[in-house]
Each structure stands twice: as structure tokens, then as C-alpha cells.
């Protein structure tokens, strides 16, 4: 009879239903605007501030699982810091300029703006369900004139400082997108990061930002990010900047006024130099050979053509046999006056160092390969036990004592380098210096959907910046424009737009037809979030002092040397311009791993796709977020085949039932009389979770939540207890709601309400754990004999070392283990361990 009544009662209470919760809470949240940072700051100006940011999405289609993961982690941080009593800024916007929009527009004959903003609407809708705790009042679009006018402003500040400039150079050309690319956008195999096409080299005049001026600071300041950024990213940036120390050495050239300067990391081997090599496509090579014999000129011309036919990929292969031509010119070694032949060879790169090297074949493998092929002299100047390089074909690159080197004889590498630099400086023939792998950032693009470069070209060819009060230079309408890429900017064809006059005069001028790399847009967007509607300046410096720099930045490792390097650079520029008082934008960085399926990257063409939209529809935001957070360490890849969204949903349902059970009874008695085991569990979670979250061990906190639910369930079901009426169960349920808010905001809100709260759980304050509940009554002490566990004693956590040792030695098992042996040493680590060393 009793059984029957209960079953009827149960069936009247709805089961956990994520769809019902989502449709109940989403509109409430939209109304409440709980996460408005300005409002929070006004309510509690005394509170400390945290700026939590996810890399803003590029709106190509809907959100995908990678977004789901990153935004899950970012939201855990944002929600966590709010609970910890911080005012949190957690904005969202759209990286809405870029080539995919243009390509889609060309394919479908629609405006790139239409395509982009349709996608934004779709992603926004997904976000509304996924429910990250964004401050939507700060939403921005980089493709809005009110945003990109400040790109143009930034460009002009840099132009005025000489940090934005034009030069004619060999550039990376993407034959598919028909535009130039930055070095950072070319992959190690010589293909385009975006299109996968083999990148070509073209000589073009383009706009650059002078990131090389900041190379030292960009490299050295990485040290302050140690431990806060993934070490992988730090290493990648260090490699990319690639600083080498060495010396510039001037070689006089016969029949030429100017010397040739070469850079060498081994100036100590200068006495071993037997020839010079210049890059064939360099201006220097062309100039040198123009003063040579007709024969040499013809040979060089043929070689140059042959070189240029070789693709960049072929050229970069170290395996390739060395080739080159003698230029019929001679240089003079500044320290011993020797005549050195000058060659051109394509193993020397035009755009690294000075595009010329001194060849020391005995001590550099590349030079040795070349010397052996063309029968050039090889002279050993560093003594070693190794075989003669001329015979073995193996260059001897290491440290050693210098020989055949005049004043350097007998010195080691380090001393010799110092000495030779002194010698060169005294002669005015060189100096110690450093050089970098990183090149200036090529920012002009021959495409439509980006920020116009605010420069006018006067008829005489001079460059005139657009006055700041005339910004923004608006993109012309696409009406009548053919956006198809053909190697020059489509803006150039917008006649009315291109043709203008110089400021304050009738003199005709043409607008620069190129647009900026979209990485310019994203290099400072985090600052625009501070005052997104400010029409008078790029961002509020006052707001920057309150919120910036970013405390936690979340995004994919694919930006390790693109966005993250550019953004660091621009931040330093803004620092130098007096706009911000910090010079690193991202205090800490979380790189989420990838979401894989069956061990490989998901892709539509491979048919191994987990769709964000369908996961969201089938399992809901909470279960999806719990699954992503629980899958493992944040930086590890998640294989969707290894996780269980159903498992997460099961956990959420168990959590819900605990709160439901509490809500159906009156809580009885004082909290202090509540079930002690459960209370300890609750307070341990409150005590441990902050450290775990701050160490980004989000998965461990989920495990702890599961444990709390399990213990709460057991407490309710225990036949000798008060069931759900036990105040410890209510306490556990409330704690559950609070901590679950980091992972499952819908369920957390529902639990909080079920437990009788009218306020928002998202703004609830993290309670202090009760210290008395964190200490155990007794702990298990392990007694080892020679490292092997022989006994376990239950002792007080406050036990003294002497008491513990005494108890250990009194134990029968321990006495038996020691037997006749002599006790050599006793290690006591009260209250948990005793190790008795016997012989």
C-alpha cells in the first residue's frame, strides 16, 4: 500500500529534462543580463577585476566542436571568478573580415557582408543555447566601419612612427587566393596555411609592419610568461623569432667602392673563409655581375633563371645538391688580405642576414658541400681529432682551439669570437651584432573584404596619409565590382572610390587599393571590448586600467605564432605610443586541444564529423559542456569515441534527483548534526575546487562533483538516516548547484531554485569551507619495514613523532617483520608514515 502511494507521487514529479530547463532559463537570462561587466563594476567598485577572453570566432558557418570546447573552458573561468567575488569582463565579438566570406560571395553571387552577417546570426543563436556567460552589450564586428576605422587609425600611428612602410621585395604569393601572404601564413612545407596551395615567390611592392624592431622585446618578454603560457607556445615563438648572435663582417670588393657585409655566427672562423657566396636573386648579385665579363654575365643569367624555376619547396630541401656560378669578382678578407672569389648560389637566402655569407668550408657543412663540388680551397682553422673535412666530406662545426688564425691561435671559440670582434671593430671592418629569423609582417592583401589601407598615392608617386578626421575610409559598395581574384585588388576597379584628391587640395590622387591582413583586426580587438561604442578613440584608457591586460585567454594552438605574436607586437606598439601601461596582452593562456573522432581530425570529406549543432540538440548544453570539461586535461585532444555524453547526462540526472529529493521534504535539525561524512565531502570540495580550477584541472573538479553526488545519494538512501531531510544533504545540494554552475549553468540554476533560492546562482558567493570539517578525526598511518608496508595504524592527525614511532614499534606485525634484525634507522613522517630500516 505504502509502496503504491510513493510510486504515484514520484510519477507526478517530472524527470530531469534538459530541453525543459533550456527553454525555461534562456529567456530569463536574456532578460536579466546578469553578466554586464559595467553593471557589476558599478554595483561593487571595490571588488577586484578579471578579464576573461575567448579568441573571437570567425563566422564561417555554424559553431563547431572546437568552439564548444574553447568556450566551455573560457566560461568555467568567467563563472568561477564571479563566484570568487571578482567583477568579470567576458565579452564576445566577431572576427568578421576575411577571405572565406569573399570566396563564398563570389561563388553564390551575394555580398560578402550578407554571407558574413547571416553566419553571425546562426552562431549567435547557437551561443544563446550554449549559454556562455557573455556580456553581450559589448558585441563587436571587425567588419563594421566603427571598428575598422581604428585599424586605420592604428596603421597611421605606425606609419607616422616609421613602423608601417612599403618595400619592393620577394613575397609569398598564394596562387589560389591570388594574394600575398605573411611568412607566418606559409606552412613549413611551403604551402599556404589557408588554401594548401604551393606558395610562389613574386617580387612586389607591399606594405609591411616593422615587427623586427620589436624582435628582442618579443623574445625576451616571453620569459615573464613562463609557467603562464603553455611551454609549447613559448618555444614556438622563440623558434619563430630565431635570434642568433654573431658579427657583421665587411669584405672590400675589387673594383667596387662599397664592401660586401656578411653576417656570421662564427666570426672566429674568419681565417678559414675561402670564398664568398651571395644569393642569386639579390640586388647585390645582379650589381656585382654587371661589372664582370660577358661570359660571367651570361652564366649568371642562365643560373638565375634555373633557380627561379625551382619551387620554394625544392629550394628548401637540404638534400638538394649545391649549385652556383662564379661571378668573376673578388673580395678581400679584412684580416689577412686574401683574395676570395665571389660566387652566387641558391643555398644562400636573399632575405636573411645580408643575403651574403662568408664560406668556411672546413667548418660549415653547406659551404663544404659547395667547395667540394666546385673545387674551392678548404682550410681548417679549428683543431680537432676529426678527419680532414676535405677528405671525409664532414664539416667540423663544434668548439675547439683556433689554428692558422693569426691572433686567434690558441683561443677557444668563445674567446676567439670576442677577440675577432675587437680586431674587426679596430679596423672598422665589422662589429658584433645579432640577426633574426623573423621578417617584417607583410600586411597588404589584394582582396576586397578587409580594412582599406588609409593612404593616398599622389600623381608624383608620393604617399599621403588620409587625415585622421577623415577616417574611416569606407569600403566601396560591391555593386558593379568584380570580386574575382586576379592578382590585383578589386578595389582598384572601383573607379569612383579610387580616384580622389589630396587633402585640402584639388590635386588628383588615388587611394591605396589593398586591404589589411585580418590579423591586424584581431591584434587589438581585446582593447576595443573595453569601450566598444566609443566614437572618439580606439578604446578607453581608463577602462584599460580597470580591466586590462587579459587575465585568462583561451584559444587554439594554431594561433601560436600568428595572432598571438601579432597581438603581442601591437600591444607593445600601443604601450610605446602611451595608450596602455602594460606590454603583454595575455597574462595567462589556455590552449584547448582538438576534438577528434577515432583518432583523427574531423572533416566533412572524411565523413568523421561530430556536429556541434546535433550534439547540442540531442544532449543539451549542460551535458555537452560537462563532457568536454570532464574528458581530460584542457590541453589534450579529446577523442569523441572515448567520451560519453550519455554518461554526463546520467550524472546530471543524478545531481538533479538529489536536489529534487531535498525539495520534497522539510529539512530537519541543525546543520551541525548533519551527516558528518557528507559534510566533510562537501567542505573538502569547497576547499579544493579553487586550487584545481586555478590550475585548470577542470576535469578533476567534475570528478569531485560526481563523488559528492554519489555520497549525497548514499546519505539519502541510508536506511538509518534522515534521508533527504538531513541538513547535510541540503548543504551538499546547494554546494553542488554552486560548483555545477561552472559546467552546467541550466541545471545549476534549476537546482538553486528547487532549493528555494530566488537569486541567481551565477552570482552566488563561494562559501568559506569550515576548517573543522577539513581535519579528520583519525588518519591511517602506514608502517613500513625496509620500505614494505607491514602495518596500518589508526592514529590522531595531531600525533607526535615520538608517539607514532612508539605505536609503530609496538605493533605485532612490525615486531615480527623486524625479527632478529638490527634497526638502523627510523624515518617518521607524522601522522602518515613510519619507515623502519633494518639490516
Partner RNA sequence: GCCCCCAUAGCCCAAUCGGCAGAGGCAGCCGACUUAAAAUCGGCACAGUGUGGGUUCGAGUCCCACUGGGGGCACCA
| 337-356: contacts with RNA (CB under 7 A) | 346-349, 352-353, 355
Site string for RNA, 555-584 (x = CB under 7 A): ------x-----------------------
**Residues numbered 673-702 forming contacts with RNA, rule: CB under 7 A:** 691, 697, 699-700, 702
Name the residue nearer to RNA (CB basis): 263 or 525: 263
CA dist 786 to 195, 768, 791, Å? 64, 42, 12
Name the residue nearer to RNA (CB basis): 106 or 186: 186
Say how many residues touch RNA, by CB under 7 A: 81
CB of 599 to RNA, least distance (A): 10
In whole angstroms, give the CA distance from residue 302 to residue 308.
10
Name the residue nearer to RNA (CB basis): 404 or 699: 699
3-state secondary structure 423-489: HHHHHCCEEEEEEECCCCEECEECCCCCCECCEEEECCCCEEECCHHHCCCCCCCCCCCCCCCCCCC
**Residues numbered 185-204 forming contacts with RNA, rule: CB under 7 A:** 188
**CB contact set of 771 (below 8 Å; sequence gap of 6+):** none
**Residues numbered 641-660 forming contacts with RNA, rule: CB under 7 A:** 642-644, 646-647, 650-651, 653-654
Per-residue cell: 801: 613523532
**Options 24-32, 141-149, 174-182, 227-235: segment touching RNA (CB under 7 A):** 227-235
**Residues numbered 497-556 forming contacts with RNA, rule: CB under 7 A:** none
Name the residue nearer to RNA (CB basis): 542 or 707: 707
Look at phi and psi of residue 607 and say left if phi exceeds 0, alpha if psi is from -120 to 50, else beta: left
Strand partners, 170: 203
**Residues numbered 366-425 forming contacts with RNA, rule: CB under 7 A:** 366, 369
In this structure, is the dihedral angle defined by the CA atoms of residues 381, 382, 384 and 389, taken in order, positive or negative?
Answer: negative
Name the residue nearer to RNA (CB basis): 264 or 446: 264
**Options 200-208, 258-266, 548-556, 570-578: segment touching RNA (CB under 7 A):** 258-266
CB of 612 to RNA, least distance (A): 19
CB of 444 to RNA, least distance (A): 22
**CB contact set of 430 (below 8 Å; sequence gap of 6+):** 247, 248, 249, 250, 261, 267, 334, 421, 424
* Residue 137 DSSP class: G
Q: Which of 70, 279, 342, 623 binds RNA (CB under 7 A)?
A: 279
35, 39, 41, 44 alpha-carbon torsion, rounded to 10°: -100
* Binding flag, residue 833, RNA (CB under 7 A): yes
Name the residue nearer to RNA (CB basis): 279 or 378: 279
* Residue 282 DSSP class: S
Site string for RNA, 791-830 (x = CB under 7 A): -x--------------------------------x-x-x-
Q: Which of 82, 266, 445, 619 binds RNA (CB under 7 A)?
A: 266
**CB contact set of 87 (below 8 Å; sequence gap of 6+):** 37, 40, 41, 44, 47, 48, 49, 50
Name the residue nearer to RNA (CB basis): 315 or 510: 315
**Pairing relation of β-strands 595-597 and 638-639?**
parallel
Q: Which of 205, 780, 798, 800 binds RNA (CB under 7 A)?
A: 780
Strand partners, 50: 88
Strands (E), 175-242: 179-181, 200-209
Name the residue nearer to RNA (CB basis): 423 or 494: 423
**Options 424-432, 521-529, 624-632, 759-767: segment touching RNA (CB under 7 A):** 624-632
* Binding flag, residue 717, RNA (CB under 7 A): yes
CB of 459 to RNA, least distance (A): 38
3-state secondary structure 647-712: HHHHHHHHHHHHHHHHHCCCCCCCHHHCCHHHHHHHHHHHHHHHHHHHCCCHHHHHHHHHHHHHHH
Name the residue nearer to RNA (CB basis): 257 or 319: 319
**Residue linked to cell 573552458:** 73
* Binding flag, residue 457, RNA (CB under 7 A): no
Name the residue nearer to RNA (CB basis): 565 or 616: 565
* Binding flag, residue 306, RNA (CB under 7 A): no
Q: What are phi and psi of 37, to 5 degrees?
A: -70, -40
CB of 797 to RNA, least distance (A): 12
CB of 621 to RNA, least distance (A): 18
Q: What are phi and psi of 419, to 5 degrees?
A: -65, -45
User: Does residue 604 contact residue 60 with C-beta atoms inside 8 Å?
Assistant: no
Chain length of the chain = 839
In whole angstroms, give the CA distance from residue 668 to residue 150.
62
Q: Which of 142, 264, 451, 489 binds RNA (CB under 7 A)?
A: 264
In whole angstroms, give the CA distance from residue 477 to residue 455.
19
**Residues numbered 437-456 forming contacts with RNA, rule: CB under 7 A:** 437
**Residues numbered 313-332 forming contacts with RNA, rule: CB under 7 A:** 315-318, 320, 322
**Options 262-270, 329-337, 419-427, 613-621: segment touching RNA (CB under 7 A):** 262-270
Name the residue nearer to RNA (CB basis): 369 or 583: 369
* Binding flag, residue 594, RNA (CB under 7 A): no
Q: How far is CA 280 from the centre of its chain?
A: 37
User: Does residue 716 contact residue 655 with C-beta atoms inside 8 Å?
Assistant: no
Q: Which of 707, 756, 813, 821 binds RNA (CB under 7 A)?
A: 707
Name the residue nearer to RNA (CB basis): 118 or 415: 415
**Residues numbered 92-151 forming contacts with RNA, rule: CB under 7 A:** none
In whole angstroms, give the CA distance from residue 672 to residue 339.
94
* Binding flag, residue 263, RNA (CB under 7 A): yes
**Options 24-32, 126-134, 424-432, 782-790: segment touching RNA (CB under 7 A):** 782-790
* Binding flag, residue 464, RNA (CB under 7 A): no
Amino acid at each position: 500500500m505504502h509502496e503504491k502511494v510513493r510510486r504515484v507521487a514520484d510519477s507526478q514529479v517530472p524527470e530531469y529534462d534538459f530541453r525543459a530547463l533550456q527553454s525555461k532559463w534562456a529567456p530569463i537570462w536574456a532578460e536579466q543580463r546578469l553578466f554586464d561587466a559595467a553593471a557589476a563594476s558599478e554595483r561593487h567598485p571595490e571588488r577586484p577585476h578579471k578579464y576573461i577572453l575567448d579568441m573571437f570566432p570567425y563566422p564561417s558557418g555554424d559553431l563547431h566542436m572546437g568552439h564548444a570546447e574553447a568556450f566551455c573552458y573560457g566560461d568555467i573561468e568567467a563563472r568561477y571568478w564571479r563566484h570568487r567575488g571578482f567583477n568579470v569582463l567576458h565579452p564576445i565579438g566577431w572576427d568578421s573580415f576575411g577571405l572565406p566570406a569573399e570566396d563564398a560571395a563570389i561563388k553564390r553571387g551575394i555580398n560578402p557582408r550578407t554571407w558574413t552577417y547571416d553566419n553571425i546570426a546562426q552562431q549567435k543563436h547557437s551561443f544563446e543555447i550554449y549559454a556562455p556567460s557573455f556580456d553581450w552589450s559589448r558585441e563587436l564586428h571587425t567588419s563594421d566601419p566603427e571598428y575598422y576605422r581604428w585599424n586605420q587609425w592604428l596603421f597611421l600611428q605606425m606609419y607616422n612612427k616609421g613602423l608601417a612602410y612599403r618595400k619592393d621585395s620577394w613575397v609569398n604569393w598564394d596562387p589560389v587566393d591570388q594574394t600575398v601572404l605573411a611568412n607566418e601564413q606559409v606552412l613549413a612545407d611551403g604551402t599556404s596555411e589557408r588554401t594548401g596551395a604551393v606558395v610562389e615567390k613574386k617580387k612586389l611592392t607591399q606594405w609591411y609592419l616593422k615587427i623586427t624592431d620589436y624582435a628582442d622585446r618579443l623574445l625576451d618578454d616571453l620569459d615573464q610568461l613562463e609557467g603562464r603560457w603553455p611551454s609549447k607556445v613559448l618555444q614556438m615563438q622563440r623558434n619563430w623569432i630565431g635570434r642568433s648572435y654573431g658579427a657583421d663582417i665587411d669584405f672590400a670588393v675589387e673594383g667596387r667602392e662599397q664592401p660586401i657585409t656578411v653576417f656570421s655566427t662564427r666570426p672566429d672562423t674568419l681565417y678559414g673563409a675561402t670564398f664568398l657566396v651571395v644569393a642569386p636573386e639579390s640586388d647585390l648579385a645582379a650589381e656585382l655581375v654587371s661589372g664582370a665579363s660577358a661570359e660571367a654575365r651570361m652564366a649568371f643569367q642562365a643560373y638565375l633563371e634555373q633557380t627561379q624555376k625551382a619551387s620554394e619547396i625544392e629550394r628548401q630541401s637540404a638534400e638538394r645538391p649545391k649549385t652556383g656560378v662564379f661571378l668573376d669578382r673578388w673580395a678581400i678578407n679584412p684580416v689577412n688580405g686574401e683574395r676570395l672569389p665571389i660566387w652566387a648560389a641558391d643555398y644562400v637566402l636573399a632575405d636573411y642576414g645580408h643575403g651574403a655569407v662568408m664560406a668556411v668550408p672546413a667548418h660549415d657543412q653547406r659551404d663544404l658541400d659547395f667547395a667540394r663540388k666546385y673545387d674551392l680551397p678548404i682550410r681548417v682553422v679549428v683543431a680537432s681529432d676529426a678527419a680532414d673535412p676535405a677528405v671525409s666530406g664532414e664539416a667540423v662545426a663544434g668548439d675547439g682551439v683556433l689554428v692558422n688564425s693569426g691572433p686567434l691561435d690558441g683561443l677557444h671559440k668563445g674567446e676567439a669570437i670576442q677577440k675577432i670582434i675587437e680586431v674587426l671593430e679596430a679596423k672598422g671592418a665589422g662589429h658584433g651584432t645579432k640577426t633574426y629569423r623573423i621578417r617584417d609582417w607583410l600586411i597588404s592583401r589584394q582582396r576586397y573584404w578587409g580594412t582599406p589601407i588609409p593612404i593616398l598615392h599622389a600623381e608624383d608617386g608620393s604617399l599621403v596619409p588620409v587625415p585622421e578626421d577623415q577616417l574611416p575610409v569606407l569600403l566601396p559598395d560591391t555593386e558593379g565590382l568584380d570580386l574575382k581574384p586576379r592578382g590585383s585588388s578589386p578595389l582598384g576597379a572601383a573607379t569612383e572610390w579610387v580616384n580622389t584628391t589630396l587633402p585640402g587640395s584639388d590635386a588628383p590622387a588615388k587611394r591605396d587599393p589593398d586591404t589589411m591582413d585580418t590579423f591586424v583586426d584581431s591584434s587589438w580587438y581585446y582593447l576595443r571590448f573595453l569601450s566598444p561604442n566609443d566614437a572618439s578613440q580606439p578604446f578607453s584608457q581608463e577602462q584599460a586600467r580597470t580591466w586590462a591586460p587579459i587575465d585568462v585567454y583561451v584559444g587554439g594552438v594554431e594561433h601560436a605564432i600568428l595572432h598571438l605574436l601579432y597581438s603581442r607586437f601591437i600591444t607593445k606598439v600601443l604601450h610605446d605610443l602611451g595608450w596602455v601601461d602594460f606590454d603583454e596582452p595575455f597574462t595567462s593562456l589556455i590552449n584547448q586541444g582538438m576534438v577528434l573522432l577515432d583518432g583523427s581530425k574531423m572533416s566533412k570529406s572524411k565523413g568523421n564529423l561530430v556536429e556541434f549543432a546535433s550534439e547540442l540538440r540531442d544532449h543539451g548544453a549542460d551535458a555537452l559542456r560537462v563532457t568536454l570539461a570532464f574528458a581530460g586535461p584542457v590541453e589534450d585532444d579529446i577523442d569523441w569515441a572515448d567520451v560519453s555524453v550519455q554518461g554526463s547526462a546520467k550524472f546530471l540526472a543524478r545531481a538533479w534527483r538529489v536536489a529534487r529529493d531535498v525539495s520534497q521534504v522539510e529539512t530537519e535539525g541543525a546543520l551541525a548534526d548533519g551527516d558528518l561524512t557528507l559534510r566533510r565531502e562537501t567542505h573538502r570540495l569547497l576547499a579544493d575546487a579553487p586550487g584545481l580550477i586555478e590550475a585548470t584541472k577542470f576535469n578533476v573538479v567534475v570528478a569531485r562533483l560526481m563523488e559528492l553526488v554519489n555520497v549525497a545519494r548514499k546519505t539519502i538512501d541510508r536506511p538509518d538516516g534522515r534521508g533527504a531531510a538531513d541538513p547535510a544533504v541540503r548543504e551538499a545540494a546547494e554546494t553542488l548547484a554552486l560548483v555545477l554552475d561552472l559546467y552546467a549553468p541550466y541545471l545549476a540554476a534549476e537546482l538553486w531554485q528547487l532549493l528555494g533560492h530566488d537569486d541567481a546562482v551565477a552570482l552566488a558567493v563561494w562559501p568559506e569551507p569550515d576548517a573543522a570539517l577539513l581535519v579528520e578525526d583519525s588518519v591511517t598511518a602506514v608502517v613500513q619495514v625496509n620500505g614494505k608496508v607491514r602495518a596500518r595504524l589508526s592514529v590522531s592527525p595531531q600525533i607526535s613523532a615520538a608517539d607514532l614511532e612508539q605505536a609503530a614499534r609496538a605493533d605485532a606485525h612490525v615486531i615480527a617483520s623486524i625479527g632478529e634484525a638490527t634497526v638502523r634507522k627510523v624515518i617518521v613522517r607524522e601522522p602518515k608514515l613510519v619507515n623502519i630500516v633494518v639490516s
